């Protein structure tokens, strides 16, 4: 695997491969790679001739009081994980390389999808995400990009961006990878104390409770949310940012679950904000994001 740190280097490396007709798979990350990232890299390896992984902590998607400075970084670890999973290139640019004139020059206006869920408590976050991903797509020019369902709202926004702005690529969303007890893998899990780590499983347990309630016939979104809140409240250190049941394409709240719905939550465990989600049909069957997108957005592909 080759480590490259400049836009010129990665473009120079990929150009002859692209001319020979190689199919390029791309996995954008913020580094501190874990098994969730590795699963995306392995998927890209199976489905493409060339695999590029980006490793960049993007300052424009962090708010002024968020954790940009202390976000975990370990390039040596990332090189090991990416290479073992099958990456051909690890693109690890500096902030100056990605924003040569400083952050704040040009941005992608995301639109109404950014005003829901995480966008309410993290204003500007998805503008920063969409902007840096646009830069990365233009630099790498992949055929397919891979994202995880844990960041469902991000994946939804980026799929819409690719569709609306006519990017010549496809976005594939793979299921959330979890610890044995159900906690979604996240780089921010490293912030948790041992006690908080045990308590953090309530996010997943609340989604399980929602699925069981649906299977038992409950359809009222308010009652379903209350059951999720009760589960989250079992953790002494928990503080709810949001628990929502929404339309999975518009992110608008639902009063009843009469069609596939996104159950999403953001919860502080101690000082660490964690997110999780699940897609359920009215019977309580869990759906994958790609299954839902391919069923309802087939005309976009």
Provide the annotated active-site residues.
37
Q: What is the secondary structure of 22-83 as a DSSP string?
A: --EEEEEE-SS--HHHHHHHHHHHHH-SEEEEEE---GGGS-TTSSTTTS---HHHHHHHHH
Q: Which helix (H) or strand (E) holds 89?
A: strand 89-91
In contact, 206 and 231? CB cutoff 8 Å: yes
| Helices marked H in 110-193 | 118-121, 125-140, 152-164
233/237 Cα distance (integer angstroms) = 9
Output Rg (C-alpha) for the chain, integer angstroms.
19
Which two tokens mark 167? Answer: 């990017």
Quick one: how far is CA 55 from the chain centroid? 14
Which two tokens mark 217? Answer: 């016939």
């Amino acid at each position: 695997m080759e480590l490259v740190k400049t836009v010129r280097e990665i473009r120079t490396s990929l150009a002859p491969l692209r001319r020979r007709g190689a199919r390029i798979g791309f996995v954008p990350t913020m580094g501190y790679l874990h098994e969730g990232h590795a699963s995306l890299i392995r998927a890209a390896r199976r489905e493409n001739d060339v695999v590029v992984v980006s490793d960049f902590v993007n300052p424009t998607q962090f708010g002024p009081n968020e954790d940009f400075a202390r976000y975990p970084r370990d390039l040596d670890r990332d090189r090991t994980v990416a290479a073992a999973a099958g990456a051909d290139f690890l693109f690890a640019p500096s902030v100056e390389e990605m924003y040569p004139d400083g952050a704040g020059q040009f941005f992608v206006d995301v639109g109404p999808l950014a005003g829901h869920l995480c966008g309410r408590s993290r204003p500007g976050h998805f503008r920063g995400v969409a902007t840096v991903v646009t830069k990365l797509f233009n630099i790498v020019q992949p055929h397919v990009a891979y994202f995880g369902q844990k960041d469902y709202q991000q994946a939804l926004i980026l799929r819409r961006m690719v569709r609306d702005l006519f990017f010549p690529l496809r976005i594939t969303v793979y299921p959330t990878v979890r610890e044995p007890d159900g906690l979604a893998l996240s780089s921010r899990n490293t912030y948790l104390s041992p006690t908080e780590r045990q308590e953090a499983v309530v996010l997943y347990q609340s989604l399980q409770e929602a699925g069981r309630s649906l299977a038992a016939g409950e359809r009222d979104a308010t009652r379903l949310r209350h059951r999720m809140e009760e589960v989250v409240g079992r953790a002494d250190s928990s503080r709810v940012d949001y628990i929502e049941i929404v339309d999975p394409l518009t992110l608008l709240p639902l009063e009843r679950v009469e069609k596939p719905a996104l159950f999403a939550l953001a919860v502080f465990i101690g000082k660490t904000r964690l997110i999780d989600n699940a897609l359920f049909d009215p019977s309580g069957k869990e759906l994958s994001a790609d299954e839902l997108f391919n069923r309802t957005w087939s005309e976009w592909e």
